[in-house]
Amino acid sequence: MDGQKLKVALMSSQTVWGGGEQFVWSLGRGLIERGHQVVWFTDPASPLANRVKTAGFRQFSVPSRKPRLRDLIRIRRICDKHDVQLMHANDTHAVNWSSIALLGKRRIKRVAVKHTAFPIRSAARYNWMIDSLVCVSQAVRKICIESGISESRTTVIHGGVENASIQRAEARFSLCQQLEIGASVPVFSAVGSLLPCKAYHRLVEAAHHLRWHLPEFRVAICGEGRERERLEKLILKYSLEKHVKLMGFQEDPARWIAGSDAFVHPSVSEGLSLVAIQAQMLGVPVIASECDGLAEVLRNPYTNKELGWILRGDDPSLLANLMLDTLQQNERRFERIQAAKNSALDRFHVQRMIGGFERLYMRLLRKESLSVTLSDSGAWRGIQETDISDSSRQSGVRQAA
């Protein structure tokens, strides 16, 4: 089966753009560039759908939250028409809808991805409805297993980032123009959805402390979400309207990262963080909390050396001190930035991620080709010995077809 061109369906139910959507977009483009056939299922109102359409890829619309029976039947028919071999569900809703739509289609293998470090409410969904669960970090895999998912069903494929070819000097010039500041004014960027787990209130409070040591600076927070109102009130409370800017959703956040003096990511929960990895690849200092999968980004797995400026605890004054420290032009700063860049390019490059998924897809399809194939119409005739997976044989659990 080596060298085989795959026929894969990618499904995402999200209506906003985040790390998960960047993940599946990079994966889909990479698979297509390698000659595989890809069918996309996206919510018609999502930024992902717009990107797929603009690129001219084969795309079908599926309402993300309340698909009708005819939508699910349509998914099934499209997969049949395009002879799809594998369904890749990129989020929880996608797992639900694709599993229902493909009920009984045992020839189509199912892969799901867990991007976040939150515990799973229903492990049964992943133990019975999919063939493999991909975790974007070792930390996420640990949480999945603790939540009751069979260890044999999980695998780790780190999220991958493209090495963006951005001239930092040009990005800096553009950023300064947009913020209406001089080139010498320090700028700290943050990129992500405005959600409680991102803890951007820490960054606003740190800016309040930083102002007493550094009168002139800017903090640019790129993203949208339900925390916007809270952050706006906090900015007003500390009279930081001049210093902290909520920039909203940005089509090209990499330019904001590249043009800044440091990237700040004070999250309290993170599956991996592609934006922190992107900052490392761009040679920008990363200030972040060492939570969940972020620890795999902020430390060298072989030497345990720090690859960023690690925030410990909730004290905003400590974060302010780290922000000041990243501005110091010394050998220690240069060495850490270079080590982080080398590590990110080696471990988290997008081509490494795509290769990992290729091997997983091939392995699942190779196992399928060696097993006894059931007809679609016989899927609910009962449990048969030939339908027991390798992992189920070990545990003595039989799977219904």
pLDDT in tens, 225-239: 999 999 999 999 999
Report residue 4's pLDDT band, with 50, 70 and 90 as the boundaries: confident
Q: How far apart are CA 384 and CA 380, in angstroms?
A: 10
The tokens describing 398, both together, are 């039989």
pTM: 0.85
The DSSP result for 43-84, as a single string, is -TTSHHHHHHHHHT--EEE--SSS--HHHHHHHHHHHHHTT-
Q: What local confidence, expressed as pLDDT, does residue 371 receive? A: 52
Report residue 327's pLDDT band, with 50, 70 and 90 as the boundaries: very high
Q: How far apart are CA 17 and CA 23, in angstroms?
A: 10
Flag whether pLDDT at 401 surpasses 50: no
CA proximity to 24, closest of 104, 105, 87:
87
What percentage of the chain exceeds 70 in pLDDT?
Answer: 91
Q: What local confidence, expressed as pLDDT, does residue 67 receive? A: 81
Report residue 292's pLDDT band, with 50, 70 and 90 as the boundaries: confident
Domains 7-160+350-370 and 168-347 share a fold: yes
Domain definitions of the chain by residue range: 7-160+350-370, 168-347
Higher pLDDT, 376 or 110: 110
Mean pLDDT of the 99-105 span: 92
Kindly provide the b/e burial profile for residues 216-252, where b requires at least 16 CB atoms within 10 angstroms of the residue's own CB: ebbbbbbbbbebeeebeebbeeeebeebbbbbeebee
Question: What is 7-160+350-370's CATH number?
Answer: 3.40.50.2000
CATH architecture of 168-347: 3-Layer(aba) Sandwich (3.40)
Flag whether pLDDT at 146 surpasses 70: yes
Q: What local confidence, expressed as pLDDT, does residue 394 receive? A: 37
Mean pLDDT of the 130-139 span: 95
Report residue 199's pLDDT band, with 50, 70 and 90 as the boundaries: very high
CA proximity to 140, closest of 165, 174, 115:
115
Q: What local confidence, expressed as pLDDT, does residue 174 receive? A: 93
Report residue 3's pLDDT band, with 50, 70 and 90 as the boundaries: low
Q: Which residues neighbour 169 within 8 Å (Cβ) at sequence distance 6 or greater?
A: none
CA proximity to 386, closest of 369, 397, 373, 375:
373
Q: How many CB atoms lie within 10 A of CB 337?
A: 21
Q: What local confidence, expressed as pLDDT, does residue 373 receive? A: 40
